[in-house]
Amino acid sequence: MEIVRPLTRVLLFLALSAFTTPNDKGMAQALEKMRFGYTGTGSNYDLEIGKRLGLFRRNGIDLEIVYVSSGSLLTQALIAGTFDVVYAPGSDAVQAKMRGADMRIVAVTANRLNQVFLTIPSITSFKQLKGKKVAVSRFGSGSHFQTNLVLKQNGLEPDKDVAVLQIGNSGARMTAISRGVVDGTVVAADFVPKAKKEGLNILADLAKTKIEYPILSLDMMGPYIDRNFKLVKALIRSMSESIRALQSDSANAKIAVRAALKTDDVETIDFALSRGVRLLNPRPFPTVGGIQTVLDEVGKEAKGKTFKFEDFVDMRALNELEREGFFK
């Protein structure tokens, strides 16, 4: 019996191997580890469905995903080598590049703003915000950039007309405005159902503007891209497939959104998914207009230098996938 048992196991292994598909064999190959940091409440629906369906692993990636509460902190962590890639507003990468870091945007899954600007019930216009307090996650973060943008569009000077407080992510800012700690804030659109129930005012829905802005960009350091080009392509492929799944597989998409938001509220899940489906693009090319929006806001840091689109993006992986017909 001691001889038969090992032999039986070998025969069973060979029998199972005969029925393994080529794709299964690819799955059995060693996976490449990738440390992935993201920020922004509700920005990880594609990550959740991609993990659920095994899309990253199918493309050879063992993805370690970590949430960080602010884009500016995430940028610092990428520069320090804590992460291989970060998923954050593109303004963070543009500012890092302008300050000398070799950070590059390799893809943008959303080129439109999706946030809303909320105020307490007594404030029904932007003029009434003058002299009031507004919340951002951290100074220099994506939420700070978006706040400045919406205030300027509505006739206010962010540095003079309001007091800006660092509060934390969308969830923390939602709590702050609900308790009257601040009078206004930009938050992720996922909080709209909750905001309406609490009687808060939606002064601006940034999704209705025509402003191009790289709200969700995949950022990497230049040397990492050069050393791991195939892995960069695999990540973009995985993200694109995840977005397609989010837009076509309603059942799994709702599970992904539920997991991302950590809520069972059906209204919130349905609303968030409908926004995400419209926002995300499975052909994740950055746009010239989106980068220009950022430069128009932070260009004062250029100190006389002239920057252009190509200074901030690395299109090699996207262009190669395009040539291979992946996005068709």
- The answer to whether residue 175 sits within a structural domain is yes
DSSP state of 207: G
Residue 282 lies in a domain: yes
Average pLDDT over residues 4-30: 41
For range 30-46, the mean pLDDT:
87
Residues 248 and 296 in one domain: yes
Tell whether 223 and 292 lie within a shared domain: yes
Res 328: pLDDT: 86
Tell me: do 50 and 187 sit in the same domain.
no
As beta bridge partners, residue 65 has 36
Q: Are residues 74 and 184 in the same domain?
A: no
Question: Which has more pLDDT, 142 or 132?
Answer: 132
pLDDT of residue 42: 60
Residues 150, 292: one domain? no
12 occurs within a structural domain:
no
Please identify, among 208, 229, 263, the residue that sits at the C-terminal boundary of a domain: 208
Residue 81 lies in a domain: yes
Same domain for 121 and 191, yes or no, is yes
Asked whether residue 205 carries a pLDDT value surpassing 50, the answer given is yes
Same-domain check for residues 105 and 190: no
In a domain, 48, yes or no: yes
pLDDT at 19: 38
Residue 307 within any structural domain of the chain: yes
pLDDT tens profile 225-242 = 999 999 999 999 999 999
Q: Are residues 217 and 315 in the same domain?
A: yes
User: Which of the two residues, 137 and 323, has the higher pLDDT score?
Assistant: 323
Q: For the chain, what is the mean pLDDT?
A: 88
Whether the per-residue pLDDT at 94 is higher than 60: the answer is yes
pLDDT of residue 8 exceeding 50, the answer is no
Give residue 29's pLDDT band: very low, low, confident or very high (50, 70, 90). Answer: low
Q: Nearest Cα to 106, choosing from 80, 78, 82?
A: 78
Q: What is the per-residue pLDDT for 2?
A: 36
Write down the pLDDT at residue 303: 60
The number of folded domains in the chain is 2
Residue 136 has pLDDT above 50, yes or no: yes
pLDDT at 20 over 50: no
Q: Are residues 234 and 310 in the same domain?
A: yes
Residue 123 and residue 73 in one domain = no
Of 208, 239, 262, the position where a domain reaches its end is 208
DSSP 4-66: HHHHHHHHHHHHHHHT--HHHHHHHSPPEEEEEEE-STTTTHHHHHHHHHTHHHHTTEEEEEE
Q: Which of 188, 208, 228 is the last residue of a domain?
A: 208
- Do 178 and 125 share a domain, yes or no? yes
Q: Say what percent of the chain tops pLDDT 90.
A: 69
d(CA 182, CA 132): 8
Residues 184 and 199 in one domain: yes
This prediction's pTM: 0.83
- Tell me whether residue 292 is in a domain: yes
Question: At CA 109, angle to CA 106 and CA 115, rounded to 5?
Answer: 125
Residue 250 in tokens: 């309603």
* DSSP letter, residue 195: H
| pLDDT at residue 169, as a whole number | 87
| CATH number of 315's domain | 3.40.190.10
In a domain, 191, yes or no: yes
Mean pLDDT, range 20-48, rounded to an integer: 73
Least confident range from 155-164, 279-288, 296-305: namely 296-305
Domain interval for residue 137 = 116-208
